[in-house]
Amino acid sequence: MQTELLKVTGMTCDGCTSTVTHALEKAPGVSDVKVSLSAGEATVQYDERITSSDRLKSAVIGAGYGVEGTSGAHSHQSKGGCCS
């Protein structure tokens, strides 16, 4: 098992943390997710044989949020989160 700490951008409320949590929980191989609105972080435990850090980041981006340290235009909040 691996643990990944993702710096998530664009979260503004508890609904946002819920959306990010559910997006990460849907990724194959994920066993535990903890998302902190105040810290702007998601801590994810996953099986590295089944998924990867990049897939976790893609799940967050696909949910409409950004991940610091991700290259490319899709690293920033793309859909405005849940509050827009």
Provide the H-helix boundaries in 1-84: 14-25, 53-62
Q: Which residue has the higher pLDDT, 57 or 69?
A: 57
Q: Provide the angle, in degrees to the nearest 10, between the axes of the packed helices 14-25 and 53-62.
A: 140
Mean pLDDT across the chain:
87
> Quick one: pLDDT at residue 78?
46
pLDDT tens digits for 31-43?
999 999 999 999 9
Asked whether the predicted pLDDT for residue 2 surpasses 60, the reply is yes
Q: What are the extents of the domains in the chain?
A: 2-75
For the entire predicted model, the pTM comes to 0.84
**CATH architecture designation of domain 2-75:** 2-Layer Sandwich (3.30)
Q: Determine the 3-state secondary structure of 55 from DSSP.
A: helix
